[in-house]
Chain A
Amino acid sequence: MTGDLLVVAQIAGRRCALSALDVKSVIEIGTVTPIPRAPAWIAGITALRSQALTVIDCRHAIGLAASATGADWPTDHRAIVVAEGGHAYALRVDGIEDITTAAGEAGQVPGGFGPEWSRIAIGMIETMAGPALLVDLAALLTGPESAAREIEAAA
C-alpha cells in the first residue's frame, strides 16, 4: 500500500481517499439527466463523449443525507470517474483536493468510523497530505440500502 497513488477528495466534510488505480479521470460535470424512480443516491446519468456515466451522489451513497447531519456542503463542479464491474460512474464529491502518495497501510481506528462510514471504508490511511479515509469503491456503489437491509436482518 505504501507508495500507492491516491486521489484525495472531501466527502460530506471528511477527507477521503480513492486508489488512483480505480480512478479513470476527473471531468467537468455537464448536464445530469435524472433517473426517475432510481434510488436517491443515484443523481442521474451524464455523457462523457459517447459513454454514459451513472452519476453517484457520494453523500447519499454513504447514507448521509445533508439534512440529517445538519450541514450543507458545496458540491464540486468536477466529478471523479471510476469503473466498477464493467460500468462507469461519476462520483460527485464536495471537492477534489489532490493526488498524493500513501504513507502506510490502511488501518482501523478504535471505535470505528460510525456505521455509515464503516460500511464504505477500508480503513484509515496516512498520506503525504495527512490522514484520510480509504474508500471501498464496491461498497460505496452498492448504496445505502444494502446496509439498511443488513441491519433489518440482524434485528
Chain B
Amino acid sequence: MDDLLADFIAETREMLEASGGELVAWEADPADRARLDAIFRFVHTVKGNCGFFDFPRLANLSHAAEDALADCRAGRRDPDRHLVTGVLAIIDRIAQMIDAIEAGEPFPEGGDEALIAALDVSHETPTGEGLEGVERGSDGGQGAAEPALGPASDDPAATIVPNGRRADPAAAQRTIRLPVELLDRVMSGVSDMVLARNDLAHRLRQAGTQPTIDGPFERLTTILSDVRDAITRMRMQRIETLFGALPRLVRDLSAELGKQVMVDLDGGDVELDREMIETIRDPLTHIIRNAIDHGIESPSARLAQGKREIGLLAIAARQSGNTISIVISDDGRGLDEERILAKGVATGLVGAAERAGLTRDKILNLIFEPGFSTAETVSNVSGRGVGLDVVRQNLEKVGGSIKVGSVPGEGTTFTLQIPLTLSIIAGLTVDAGGQRFAIPQSYVEEIVQASSRALDFTRMGETALVTFRGVRVPCLMLGEVLGLADGTGREPTLVMLRLASGDLFALAVEGIHNHGDLVVKPLAPAVMKSGLYAGSTLLDDGTPVLLLDVANIAAQHHLVSDARARVIGAIEETADEAAEAAERAMLFTDFAGRRSAVRLELVQRIETAPVTAIDRSAARPRVVIDGMILPLIGLPDTPLTQHRVRLLRLSDGACEVLQAVREVEDAVELTHPLAPVPEDPLVEAITLIGGKPATLIDAHELFARYGEPPVAAARPRCVLPAGEWARAILAPLVTAAGYDILSEGDPAAAEPGAIGILFEDVYEVAEALGRPLPARVIRLRDQPEAPAGSPTIYRYDREGLLAALAEAAAAAAAPRNAYAAGEAA
C-alpha cells in the first residue's frame, strides 16, 4: 500500500511538473485544443487514481475540474480567463494536497468549495464575485495603479513563446521509474565489465591469435560498448524537464508582482546528468526570481522608458565541449552600479578608500558576496534569506561558475557554467614527468611536433614562446606546471589548446599517447583545491589518470583576461610581419605525378577516405566524409588500385573541395618568387620548392569551378528481403556499398529514395498481385545463367550487384542534390 501511495505521489508530481508549461500555454490561448486535452488528461488521471485511495477531497477537486474541462471539450462552454484561473487554482490545490499527503500531515479543512464554486460561474457572468479570492494574487497592486492600460491589463500576466519542438504528450515514450542508486550500480558494473574485458584482451594478445576465441570476443566487445552507451544515456536527461516548470513559475511571480513577463526558452534538448539538473534547479529559480523582482520594471515604468510593456526573460542552454552554459537574460533596468557600491561600502564589503579603484566588473560581482542583498525591502518573492552568494556556492560545489553582465537600462545577463561531470568526454592522454595526464579533446586545436623548425621556440624571461602559423603563442611546460622533473630530455611535443575565450596557448608535453572516450569522475575536494585537475578517469588497463583543468591552468598562468589583451596586441604586430615574411603551402604529389602545392590557409585537414566512399558515377566525382557529400577533384582517370585515398580537405570558409593526392609531402614556406601561368587558369603560379618546381593551385578558380557547400549525406537506404541469407551475406555487402539497411515493413521503406532488393520469384508474385514495391528495385536470381532478356542479377555476382547499387544511389542522390541547391537559392 505504501509503495502504491508513493507511486501515486511521484506520478502526480511528475505530471504536475510536465503540465506546468501546458497550463500557461493554455492560458495564453484558451482555445488551444491540444493543451486543453493535455490538462484534461491530467485531472482525469488524478481523479482515476484517487479511486484507489481514500482521498475524497482530491477526488472532488479533480472531478470538478474534469467536468468543467469536459464541457469545454464538448463545446458547451468557452474556456475563458475565469475558467483558466479556476482550473489553475484547483491544480495548485492538488499539488499542495499531494505535498501534505507525502509529509503525512493533515491538510487544512475548507476552501475547496470556493474553488469548485469558482468553476461553476457560468460564462454569461462577466466578472464572477466568487472569483475574488482566487484572483486576488494576480490583481494585487496592478489594477488600481494602471487603469490607463485599459484592455491590455486584462491579458494574462505571462505568456509563453514555445520555442523548439514540444513533445506531443500522446506520443510520449513509455517510461518506468527507477531509483538513481540502481542506475549507478548498473553503471559501475558495466565499467567494471569494460575493465575485465580489457584485461582479457591483454591476455588474449599475449596468448596469440586464436580464431575460435577471437570471434566471440569481438562480439562481446561490440555488445559491451553498446550497453555502455545505453547506460550512459540513461543517466542523462534533457534540460527540458527543468525548463518545463519555468513558464508557470514566471507566470505566478509576475502576477504576484504586477509585472508582465514573456519567457523565451531555448536549448531544451541539451542533455545533462540527472543529478546536475537537480543541483541547478534552485540557483536557476533564484535568478529568475531576482530578474522578475528587481530586474524587470512595472509595465508603466517600461512604457515611460519607451520599452515594450511586456518584459522579456530569455533562458537558453548550450553545450560547448564538456561544459553546459545556461544564460538567463532580461531586458529590465540592469544592475545599478552606484547602489551596489553604496551597499558594498555600507555592509563593509568594500573599504571607503578602495571604492574609487574598482572596475564596473568588480562592482557587479559584489552581488555574489556573502551578506549582500540590494532589495531595500525584503519582498515575499526574492528576499528569503538566501542570496546570490548561496547560488554561487552551490554552483561552485559542483565545479561550476556564475558570471554577471549588465547594461544600465537595457538588462542583465547571468551566465551559469556547469560541468558535465560523470559524463564521457573525448580526451587525449599525454606524458609529463613520466606520468600520464588527460586533456579534454575539446580544447585541443592541433598537435605539433616541436622538432619542426617552424616552431621557433624562444624563452622570454621565464616565459616560453613558440611561433605557430606565424603567431607567437605562449607556451607552458606541463612538467613545470605540475612541478615534475623533465623525465626524458627529448624534444617536447606541443599540444595547441584553444580556450573558450578564444585564447590560444601551447602546452609542451613529453609524448602523446592516444585519444578516446574517458569517463570522468569527480576528485576529492582537497585535490580539486590545487586548481590543476578537473577529475580523474581510468585508462583501459585500469590505471587512474588525472584530467587536467585546462581553463584553470591557463588562468593561473595569466593566459586569459586583461594580461591577454596586452600580449595579443604585441603578438598581432609580429604576426603580420611573419605572415609577410613567408607564406606557407602544403606540398603534395597528385595522381598525375605532378608536384603541386596549395596555400596552407585553405587546408582544413588531411582526410583518408576508403575508395567505397567515392562516387564516380556522376560527371563530377564526389566523396562522403563524416556524413557529408563533398566534391572531389584530382582523381586519376583510371580506376583506383589502392583501398584508401589521401585527400586534402580545402575550405574557403563556406564551400569545401577535396583534392585527392598520391602523397602528402610537407608544409613548406613559399620563399621563391612565383611565376604566373596565364595559360592554365587552375594554376596560380609555378615556384621553386626545395630546388624543384611545383605548381601552386589557384584557389579562386578552384572554388569558382568546384566549390560546393557540403550536403549532408543521408545514406541511401535499401530494403532487403527477409531471411538468413540476406541478413548474413547480402547485408554486409550492401552496407559496405554505403547503404543503410531497412527491414521489410519499416515505414521508411516506403520513402521514394529507398531501393529494394528482391528475389526474382518474390518480385514476380508481388507484381502479379499488384503489391506496392520500392521505386527502384534490384532483382536477384538463383542461377548463374540469366534467362534471355531478364533484368536480373545472379545473387553472387558481386560486381554486377555493386554496379547496380552505385547506379541506384546516384539516381537517388541526383534529385536530392537538386533539391538542396534549390533550397540554398
Q: Which residues of A contact B (CB under 8 A)?
A: 31, 33-39, 42, 45-47, 49-52, 54, 85-87, 89, 141-143
Known: A31-B543, A50-B195, A85-B525. A37 touches B536 (CB 8 A): no
Q: How far is the CA of A86 from the CA of B180 in the complex (A)?
A: 14
Contacts of A47 in B (CB 8 A): 538, 542-544
Question: Which of B195, B530, B544 is A52 in contact with, Cβ under 8 Å?
Answer: B544
Known: A38-B530, A87-B522, A143-B526. A33 touches B435 (CB 8 A): yes
- Residue picked from A45, A46, A51, most chain B C-beta under 10 Å: A45
Q: How far is the CA of A39 from the CA of B531 in the complex (A)?
A: 12
B526 to chain A, nearest CB (A): 6
User: Which chain A residue lies CB-closest to B195?
Assistant: A50
B554 to chain A, nearest CB (A): 16
- Residue picked from B195, B526, B538, most chain A C-beta under 10 Å: B526
Known: A38-B527, A87-B525. A33 touches B188 (CB 8 A): no
Contacts of B523 in A (CB 8 A): 45, 52, 54, 87
Contacts of A51 in B (CB 8 A): 188, 521
B202 to chain A, nearest CB (A): 15
Q: Are B546 and A33 in contact (CB under 8 A)?
A: yes
Q: Is the interface of B mostly helix, strand, loop or mixed?
A: mixed
0/1 interface trace, chain B 508-528, chain A, CB 8 Å (1 if under): 000000000001011111110
Contacts of A87 in B (CB 8 A): 522-525
A104 to chain B, nearest CB (A): 33
User: Which chain A residue lies CB-closest to B479?
Assistant: A36
B235 to chain A, nearest CB (A): 15
Q: Are B191 and A39 in contact (CB under 8 A)?
A: no
A72 to chain B, nearest CB (A): 25
Q: Are A142 and B526 in contact (CB under 8 A)?
A: yes
Contacts of B526 in A (CB 8 A): 38-39, 42, 54, 141-143
- Residue picked from A37, A39, A85, A89, most chain B C-beta under 10 Å: A37
Q: How far is the CA of A47 from the CA of B524 in the complex (A)?
A: 14
Contacts of B482 in A (CB 8 A): 36-37
User: Which chain B residue lies CB-closest to A41?
Assistant: B526
Q: Which 6 A-B pairs have the closest CB atoms?
A: A50-B191, A36-B482, A54-B524, A52-B536, A87-B524, A45-B544
B183 to chain A, nearest CB (A): 14
Known: A33-B435, A37-B482. A54 touches B521 (CB 8 A): no
A-B contact pairs, 12 of them (CB 8 A): A33-B435, A33-B544, A33-B545, A36-B482, A36-B483, A38-B527, A39-B530, A45-B546, A46-B544, A85-B525, A86-B522, A87-B523
A39 to chain B, nearest CB (A): 6
Besides A37-B532, A45-B536, 13 other A-B contacts (C-beta < 8 A): A31-B543, A33-B543, A36-B532, A37-B483, A37-B530, A38-B526, A45-B544, A50-B188, A50-B194, A50-B538, A52-B536, A52-B537, A54-B527
- Residue picked from B191, B192, B543, most chain A C-beta under 10 Å: B543
Q: How far is the CA of A102 from the CA of B24 in the complex (A)?
A: 60
B22-80 CB contacts (< 8 Å) to partner A: none
Q: How far is the CA of A35 from the CA of B530 in the complex (A)?
A: 10
Q: Are B527 and A42 in contact (CB under 8 A)?
A: yes
User: Which chain B residue lies CB-closest to A141?
Assistant: B526
A65 to chain B, nearest CB (A): 17
A118 to chain B, nearest CB (A): 20
